[in-house]
Structure 1
Amino acid sequence: MAVQLVWLKRDLRLHDHAPFAAAARQGPVVALYVFEPSMVRAPDHDVQHFRFISDALTELRQRLVKRGGALLIRTGELPAVMEQVVQEVGAECVWAHEETGNALSYARDRRVRAWARARGLPFRELPGSGVIRRLDSRDGWAERWEAFVRAPVANPPQQFAALPWFQAPDGKAAPEAGVVPTPASLGVQNASTRPVQSAAGERAARETLHSFLTARGEDYRRAMSSPVSAFSACSRVSAHLAFGTMSGRQAWQAAQRRRAELLDDRPGHAAWLASLQSFTARLAWRDHFMQKLEDEPRIEYEEFSRAYQGLRSEEPDGARLDAWIEGRTGYPFVDACMRALRAHGWINFRMRAMLVSFASYHLWLPWQATSKALAPHFLDYEPGIHYSQFQMQSGTTGINTVRIYNPYKQGLEHDPDGAFIRHWVPELESVPVDFVHAPHEMPALMAGMTGLRLGLDYPWPIVDHASAYREARDRVHAVRRSLAARAEAASVYAMHGSRKEPLHKRTR
């Protein structure tokens, strides 16, 4: 039987892995993961991503070896590394999942496909999510997505065909990589001790999801908005979905099984059922946003609506960008959220939206610069969601409501006693609760009694909220009212708009 090579991208699992399942039906399986220097050293990659991948590969290798499979971990650029491996193992077919990644991975995939065609080597890419490649229309997308997540999971056999000549390497994955990224986390804490949001691997993914579906998630719908409660109440499987130690279909089906268990006693589980509905809706939302980048890769760098090109300067204000990314804007709740994110690699969605809104509107920074600056700090960085959301929160899609978050209002709503602020901005520990959200408003005598020296211990607000809000609102709405923006909005909606019925029915 011919050796089958399974190329792993962002799909570091064995279960619900269509390439593994399909390859195993054809012959012995060798899996390959390549640490590519061009991607590992890219600005959107961080040492926390490197560690998560390495740990997941260590577990995956053990699982494969137990079933008679093999995992090779190599360093270099593709397709050159793949050519070497194909010759080494005698592979007669290459299997992989489709990937919706950044511009680097998109260009890499095109090179690999061209190499395989030139070599006459079969290269099979299979869907790994509800994202649809070469989608003709968004009409009917929701129905096709649901059909995908309802389909049976694709699992490999308990035992792969034998590879008698192959000797599995020992040890962890990371030492074999030969390349380590520069950590974006420097300045927050030592990179070697920076925590990841959860352990890597399929086992950790299952355990994290199980604890959410059976214990932590009951108050999810309400508690997800506040950083005080979200670290526990949210599912925390986002990194597992991003690197594929769990598939979206696995998460969706597990939530449906949990829902079925609870439906027999609906009156007693209203909160649980509401939270499960919200969770499964967000799984669909995830693929919906990834579909946008799949359909239009240019949105990593260019505005959805071309009417907004040039709205902000291409060159960011360096002082403002540094203050924002380092959590020293003089807005305590904004700074607390940024510091929490940089320490943990995760923060809840509402706070992500506020951070981006503040950078785009209050600081008037270009989303192209802020998106690249923030990407390495998200352990669950997913390009399709990341760039779509940055544009949505920056007002450049042309089809979404312009939301300019009030950082003071957000802080008072989600951290009323200032405990979250005091934890992450210890400079303000002695500030009374009435002023912890706006220490610059303290009377001079009170400020002196607290010992806080504004401008030294903690900065004054980098901009005035009211004036920055008004100026940003007026600038964005001036473009939004233009004929060019209205025409562009129709085009953007036709390609990317969310709908459960055909477009022609919505526009009658």
Structure 2
Amino acid sequence: MSEPTSLAWFRRDHRLHDNAAFAAACDADRVVPVYCVDPREYGDRPFGGPDSFDFEKTGAHRARFRLESLADLRASLRDRGSDLVVREGRPESVLPEVAAAVDADFVTVHTRPTPEESRVESAVETELRDGGVELRRFWGHTLTHLDGLPMALSDLPDTYTTFRKAVELAAEDAGTGDAAAGDEHASDGDPGGRDPLPEPTVPPLPDDAPDAGDLPAVSDLVGTADANADRAPDDRGVLPFDGGETAALDRVESYIWAGDHLREYKEARNGLLGADYSSKFSPWLNEGCLSPRYVKAEVDRYEDRRVENDSTYWLVFELRWRDFFQFQFAKHGSDCFHREGIRERTDIDWRRDDAQFERWAAGKTGIPFVDANMRELNATGYMSNRGRQNAASFLANDLRLDWRRGAAYFETRLVDYDPASNYGNWAYIAGVGNDSRERSFDVRWQANRYDEDAEYVKTWLPELDALPAEYAHEPWKLSGAEQASYGVELGVDYPEPMVDFSD
């Protein structure tokens, strides 16, 4: 009898720790780790559906981060006597070919809840089945396992607070952290408990394993111009965000333990400048270089060894927000991407104005707090949560431009993009998603509250550096004489505001 051989299909789970799909693949005697560079994830694509528009699917910042993550994963596998086979092409074409070449018995993968990712999984499953190969799915990107939810997915609350309280109560009652009582093992083989899986022992490659292949360059994926824009990190950025599991674990160590920043997370999380006002774990979480269960285990260990306070709770609180949107998309599917949202709101007159949208995207709205955040996003692929809320609210609520175009622009630019978190938060701000409360932000109040001395604005808008903080946030208040005195002429050195805030 031949020794069983598996394929480990890596997607957005570029890690060896707490990786249920890879661990299951390693139960075979031979395993071939595979990554497919899917051309559908790059270049200009239509958004789809009514009132569609074209947008760039993946920009240079995330493409660089992804390739660094794959290089790190490949290096880790080679250190363990294995390798990462990289192929360019649609997974439903690539994986059956590799499976046939090595006579694989099964393929493992982490499943994802959004329709686009689910369609790819289904196509792969169909093609593999035709070749007599089984696709085994695992759920492994949330803190709470899908099978650990204290309610059926169809009964999932559409408000975060209700969801959070139910999950916290179930975890407390079960005494297992993040699983339902009795959920020792999920139906697909994933553990439902809170402890992360250990790194598996990696079996060797089969003798007939295909050539590993080369990783593409950033320019191969996004074009030379965009790739060059991402070549040198902007020294104003909060972090360089090096991709990969190694960098992810280093960041956890430096933020939680070496820097001891976790104890002040709640108080500092609305910061705008510097590496440590928040954890900055999101790029590694969303690309799968870091497991949320690993983060939770480190928080637990920190509480045991150093301090348990509101800040340690709040980091887990934010991980549950991330979970919430993953499960919302599993529940509502493609409705989450509709302009009317899951609330089917038809009472909002969404506009299309390409010129206004381009001003917003370029950070030239004439509203400094919005512009500073958009320029940080364009230069680095990142902006704070506070900045995202304000930039999104300005587009959706002040300009009333189609919120999906803003969300799609974030999809292109963000180094930490995740479809559920990104579109879920945009819909929330736009008033068509979760929670019925009005989510419009007073951008001027927010600027003065969170950037009191205008240090952030002046960092990203150096043309306003000479202005006092009040005028740096509201330059339209400058008289003609003051503009001349400070050397800032509206409409020349800095744009006139798109919205009349003169009251």
Structure-1-length-normalised TM-score: 0.83
Conservation of the 8 A alpha-carbon contact between 1:150 and 1:249: no
Query: Is 1:293–1:300's contact at 8 Å kept on the other side of the alignment?
Result: no
- Maintained 8 Å contact 2:339/2:402: no
Bigger helix share: 1
Is 1:151 equivalent to 2:194 in the alignment?
A: yes
Map residues 362-373 of structure 1 onto 2, 5 A cutoff: 362-373=398-409
The corresponding residue for 1:132 is 146
Q: Is residue 2:98 matched to residue 1:122?
A: no
Alpha-carbon distance in 1 for matches of 2:265, 2:226? 29
After TM superposition, the structure 1 stretch with the greater mean CA deviation from structure 2, 142-151 or 77-86, is 142-151
Please name the residue that 1:341 is paired with.
377
Q: Counterpart of 2:425?
A: 389
Trace 1:228-243 onto structure 2 (pairs within 5 A): 228=273, 231-243=275-287
Q: What is residue 454 of structure 2 aligned with on the other side?
A: 418
Indicate whether 1:406 and 2:442 are aligned.
Answer: yes
Contact preservation (8 Å) 2:156, 2:331: no
Contact 2:101–2:208 (8 Å) recurs in 1 = no
Matches within 5 A, 1:351-500: 351-397=387-433, 399-465=435-501
Displacement of 1:178: 9.1
Q: Is the 8 A contact 1:5 1:32 kept in 2?
A: yes
C-alpha RMSD of the superposition: 2.5
- Structure 1 match to 2:7: 5
The answer to whether the 8 Å contact 1:6/1:20 transfers is: yes
CA drift of 1:153 comes to 2.2
Question: For 1:262-273, what aligned pairs fall within 5 Å after superposition?
Answer: 262-263=306-307, 273=309
| Cα separation, 2, equivalents of 1:149 and 1:347 | 33
Question: Secondary structure at 2:499's aligned position in 1?
Answer: coil
Q: Deviations over 1:416-457 (max 9, x none)?
A: 111111111111112223311111111221111112111111
Distance across 2 between alignment mates of 1:220 and 1:53: 27
Distance 2:231 2:448 in 1: 35
Q: Which amino acid aligns with 1:121?
A: V
Secondary structure of the 1:213 match is helix
Q: Out of 94, 114, 121, which is 1:109 matched to?
A: 121
**How far off its partner does 1:78 sit?**
2.4
Query: Which residue is equivalent to 2:215?
Result: 173
* Separation of aligned partners in 1, 2:225 and 2:333: 25
1:300 matches 2:337: yes
Letter in 2 for 1:44: K
Question: Partners in 1 of 2:225 and 2:403 — Cα distance?
Answer: 18
Q: Is the 8 A contact 1:415 1:421 kept in 2?
A: yes
Q: Which residue matches 2:42?
A: 40
Structure 2 Cα separation of the partners of residues 461 and 22 of structure 1? 56
Which residue does the alignment assign to 2:232?
193
Cα distance change, pair 83–39 in 1 and its aligned pair in 2 (3 A): same
Deviation at 1:91, TM superposition (A): 1.2
Shift of 1:194: 4.8
Question: Is 2:101 the counterpart of 1:88?
Answer: yes
Q: Give, in angstroms, the shift of residue 9 of structure 1.
A: 0.8
Amino acid corresponding to residue 237 of structure 1 in structure 2: F
Q: Is the 8 A contact 2:178 2:193 kept in 1?
A: yes
Q: State whether residues 396 and 402 of structure 2, in contact with CA within 8 Å, keep that contact through their aligned partners in structure 1.
A: yes
Partner secondary structure for residue 221 of structure 2: coil
Measure the CA separation in 2 of the matches of 1:227 and 1:56: 26
Q: Does 1:203 align with 2:246?
A: yes
Distance change in 2, residues 1:178/1:33 (3 Å): farther
| Runs of 4+ residues over 6 Å off in structure 1 | none
Specify the code of the residue in structure 2 equivalent to 1:347.
M
Deviations 1:298-347 (A, max 9, x none): 1123433454136233x521111111111111111111111112222112
Q: In structure 1, what residue type is equivalent to 2:194? A: A
SS at match of 1:228: coil
Counterpart residue identity of residue 33, structure 1: Y
Could you tell me which amino acid in structure 1 is paired with residue 333 of structure 2?
A: P
Q: Which runs of 5+ in 2 are unaligned?
A: 46-55, 158-165, 172-176, 180-190
Provide the aligned length of Structure 1 versus Structure 2: 452
The one of 17, 20, 23 aligned to 1:18: 20
Any idea what SS the aligned residue of 2:105 has?
strand
How far apart are residue 5 of structure 1 and its match? Answer: 0.2
Report the TM-score, using the length of structure 2 for normalisation: 0.83
How far 1:209 moved relative to its partner? Answer: 1.0
- Cα deviation code 1:38-57 (max 9, x no counterpart): 11225231122221121111
In the alignment, what sits opposite 1:494? Answer: none
**Inter-partner Cα distance in structure 1 for 2:226 and 2:272:** 20
User: 1-side partners of 2:485 and 2:450: how far apart?
Assistant: 27
1:199 is paired with a residue of what secondary structure? Answer: coil
Alpha-carbon shift at residue 155 of structure 1 (Å): 3.1
The one-letter code sitting in structure 2 at the alignment partner of 1:222 is E
SS at match of 1:70: coil
SS in 2 for 1:79: helix
Deviation per CA, 1:258-283: give whole Å up to 9, x if none. 111124xxxxxxxx622111101111
Shift of 1:192: 2.6
CA distance in 2, matches of 1:6, 1:428: 52
